A and B are shown apart, each in its own frame.
Chain A
């Protein structure tokens, strides 16, 4: 069935609400307004105000309430408008959600799912456009997932809800309008494994979320030049699927990591380090990274475009790692 990523995410929410009476949604403007990216549109009418709850503008308060509800036996799905605003709830996420299981000696699980929009590309300026999911991958006790396809948007939520521990689910704002076919026979997806979205033997593009489609477009253009790029979608950003990553490195020997976060201290840096630690002798060229320019995301279109990873920059990086002689 053909649908948008937004519709797939909504179908995931509807299915979860139908499947388990303990599931409810909570967040700013998710009910009457239908969600700031219209993902929850219509759900209030369908499921009623008990289960689709508009909250006051206090991320700390409603994430904290979600943690309490999860501990109390419910299965809350909390929406934070964008990852930029999640910093107001960072104390709850880090000091409570991620930590309580450990501090209670395993007695208190926090089966909470927090959905957040992330990323740039819609001219929403610096306070609404950053990709901070990499920060959350630093925190033990959290699982961080990033659906990048229609299938993952539809099915990752259910798997996340089944986790006994908190899961942060990042939806890149650029993905909401993409259209694709939902697999007919798929009933669930895992949140353990990275997936090869396109096989190739010459170079490996490691990416996730909003950058996946740029990488696939770059791979398509490179194929026309005779370069076969393999595209790996991480899907789960914490814990990383080292096995799948290293297998792909062993096939290709050359790697470009594409991450919309800033380069310094990034998820791309972590992946690169793991490759050097675990697959150093497989490398035939230095690992390259395509990240966002280290500036607050600019508002003007041309500057925003220039700051973000683009198909052209990905291709340029691929040419760099494939260059004969390379750059020493």
Chain B
């Protein structure tokens, strides 16, 4: 059996990418999770992973080509059946052919991009269609937009601005990409906010004792404990972990915690620490260090990019006391951690000076209410206060 490998959407605001180079050639065996190609997006270079086991039968896109989400990149012969020779029509820099109207055979793994597999005619306003022709924006690029039901002139102009900016200035493109995602979040998601101060002295004591035994390279960061606490709380609170898509909430089976990482020179990305609730702190720390260095070098994996089911954003030691973050759609919750600072704190009836962390939760009111949000936030605080259980 032959399956098509399509360019997945690596975020709600990703519409297209440029294929940089192939990591595989026809005849190579590939395994699920293995990187098959490198593409350049507004957020940097990303290794695109394969969702199937199989043998590459054809590569259908040439390096250097800008391709919309949903474009067939390669054909794979799955190992269960002999390959059917497919008419290889390599895509060059010319505009891609329109997507098939009939839903293609779904891959066995998770669908890489919803937009590419939805059949039927796109709802694009007449004026937007004409503007798209004028600006040279393909309908596939427009359809690659997640979560937009009807495409208007404004969307066409945004996509055109994005491709123009990304070809000239990647930083500007990232600014636009962040702007698009956050505008969508503020427009569509009814956010509610909760704040909770947490005395983190037990966490600090545990952490110093723990780190004292370790070489510098392996020491845990305070922020990582917050990530782990959020992951464990999310695993127990399904309604904060998942996606709001097509008008309803789908809770996620796994907990992938997006960690907002600021880039040198501006911008930020939030790649995911996969299955963060199930991994021990040491493993997470190693993965986190690896992630930060790869992200800053501009080299993320596609599974990390789009997978986050909830996000944590932290201002670090020099940040403001609290932050009120914006949800990264289609997720439904984001936890913010302010700077940990000595504060007057009532402990057993006496005022003491304690290191206090301000935790905030922004959550989607379409899915949860303040009451469950409050339980969720307190749970994170309690987990942080019992670090030996993290």
Q: A residues engaging B (CB < 8 A)?
A: 253, 280-285, 324-326, 328
Does A285 contact B149, Cβ atoms closer than 8 Å?
no
Partner of B152, one of A280, A281, A284, A328: A284
> Are A281 and B126 in contact (CB-based, < 8 A)?
yes
Question: Is there an interface contact between A326 and B150, defined as CB atoms closer than 8 Å?
Answer: yes
Which single member of A253, A281, A282, A325 contacts B150 (CB below 8 Å)? A325
Q: How far is it, in angstroms, between the C-alpha of A194 and the C-alpha of B187 when the chains are bound?
A: 36
Interface string of B164-191 (1 = CB under 8 A from A): 0000000000000000000000011000
The verdict on B21 contacting chain A, using a C-beta distance below 8 Å, is no
A39 to chain B, nearest CB (A): 44
If A284-B152, A284-B153 touch, does A328 touch B125 (CB 8 Å cutoff)?
A: no
Question: Once bound together, how far apart are the Cα atoms of A133 and B152, in whole Å?
Answer: 35
Whether B150 and A328, one on each chain, are in contact in the complex, defined by CB atoms closer than 8 angstroms, is: yes
Residue on A nearest B133 in the bound complex, by CB = A281
User: Quick one: closest A residue to B127, CB to CB?
Assistant: A284
Judging by beta carbons under 8 Å apart, are A281 and B187 in contact?
A: no
Q: Which residue of A is nearest B188, CB measured?
A: A324
Chain B contact patch, size range: 10 to 19
Question: A326 CA to B150 CA in the complex, in Å?
Answer: 7
Asked if A324 and B187 sit within 8 Å, CB to CB, the answer is yes
A281, B128: Cα distance in complex, Å: 8
A282 touches B149 (CB 8 A): no
Residues of the A chain whose Cβ atoms lie less than 8 Å from the Cβ of B103: none
> A45 to B126, alpha carbons, bound, how many Å?
60
Q: Nearest chain-A residue to B129 (Cβ)?
A: A281
B115-158 CB contacts (< 8 Å) to partner A: 123, 125-130, 148-150, 152-153
CB-based nearest A residue for B148: A325
Do A284 and B128 touch across chains, with their CB atoms under 8 A apart? yes
Main secondary structure of the interface of A (DSSP, over half): loop
Chain B residues with Cβ below 8 Å from A253 are: 125, 127, 153
Q: Pick the 6 closest A-B CB pairs, nearest first.
A: A325-B149, A284-B127, A284-B125, A281-B130, A281-B126, A326-B150
Q: Apart from A283-B127, A326-B149, what 8 extra A-B contacts exist at CB < 8 Å?
A: A253-B125, A281-B127, A283-B125, A284-B126, A284-B128, A324-B148, A324-B187, A328-B123
Look across to chain B and name the residue whose beta carbon is closest to the beta carbon of A322. B152
- Secondary structure of the B contact surface, majority rule: helix
Q: Return B19 CB to nearest CB of chain A, in Å.
A: 31
> Residue-by-residue, is B246-270 near A (CB-CB < 8 Å gives 1, otherwise 0)?
0000000000000000000000000
- Report Cα–Cα, A207/B18, bound state, in Å: 49
Given the interface pairs A324-B187, A328-B123, the reply to whether A285 lies near B152 with Cβ below 8 Å is yes
Report how many A-B pairs have Cβ atoms within 8 Å: 34
Closest to A285 in B: B125
Q: How far is the CA of A306 from the CA of B105 in the complex (A)?
A: 53
A285: chain B residues within 8 A (beta carbon): 125, 152
CB distance from B205 to the nearest CB of A (A): 50
Across the interface, do B149 and A280 meet the contact criterion of CB distance under 8 Å? no
A280, A281, A326: which has the most chain B beta carbons within 10 Å?
Answer: A281
Docked complex Cα distance between A108 and B227 (Å):
90
A283 to B153, CA, bound (A): 9
Complex alpha-carbon distance, A280 and B153, angstroms: 14
Chain A hits for B125, CB < 8 A:
253, 283-285
Write out the residue numbers on chain B whose beta carbons fall within 8 Å of the beta carbon of A280: 126
- Shortest beta-carbon distance from A288 to chain B in Å: 14
Ordered by A's residue number, 17 sampled pairs between the chains whose C-beta atoms are within 8 Å are: A253-B125, A253-B153, A281-B126, A281-B127, A281-B129, A283-B126, A283-B127, A284-B125, A284-B127, A284-B152, A284-B153, A285-B152, A324-B188, A325-B148, A326-B150, A326-B152, A328-B123
Which interface residue of B125, B130, B149, B187 has the most chain A CB atoms within 10 A?
Answer: B125
Nearest Cβ on chain A to B189's Cβ, whole angstroms: 13
Q: Which of B128, B130, B149 contacts A328 (CB 8 A)?
A: B149
A282 vs B127: C-alpha distance in the bound complex, in angstroms?
A: 5
CB-defined contacts of A281 to chain B, threshold 8 Å = 126-127, 129-130
For the complex, what is the distance from the CA of A253 to the CA of B126, rounded to whole Å? 10
Q: Report A73 CB to chain B, min CB distance, Å.
A: 52
| Least CB distance, A280 to chain B, in whole angstroms | 5
In angstroms, Cα B201 to Cα A125, docked, is 77
Interface centre among B126, B128, B187, B188 (most CB of A within 10 A): B126
- For residue A281, give the distance in angstroms from its CB to the closest CB of chain B: 5
**Which residues of B are found within 8 Å of A282, using beta-carbon distances?**
126-127
Report how far A91 CA is from B293 CA in the complex, Å. 87
Chain A hits for B152, CB < 8 A = 284-285, 324, 326
Kindly list chain B residues whose C-beta atoms are within 8 Å of the C-beta of A324: 148, 152, 187-188
When distances are taken between beta carbons in the complex, the residues of chain A under 8 Å from B148 are: 324-325
CB distance from A286 to the nearest CB of B (A): 9
A297 and B130 alpha carbons, distance in the complex (Å): 43
A285 to B125 CA separation, bound complex (whole angstroms): 6
For the complex formed, measure the closest distance between the CB of A30 and the CB atoms of chain B, giving whole angstroms: 50
Residues of A within 8 A of B149 (CB): 325-326, 328
Q: How many angstroms between the C-alpha atoms of A326 and B127 in the bound complex?
A: 14
- Taking the closest CB of chain A, its distance from the CB of B364, in whole angstroms, is 17
A147 to B130, CA, bound (A): 37
- Complex Cα gap A305–B3 (Å): 62
| Complex interface: chain A residues within 8 A of B188 (CB) | 324
Tell me the smallest distance from the CB of A244 to a CB of chain B, in Å.
19
Q: How far is the CB of B367 from the nearest CB of chain A, in Å? A: 19
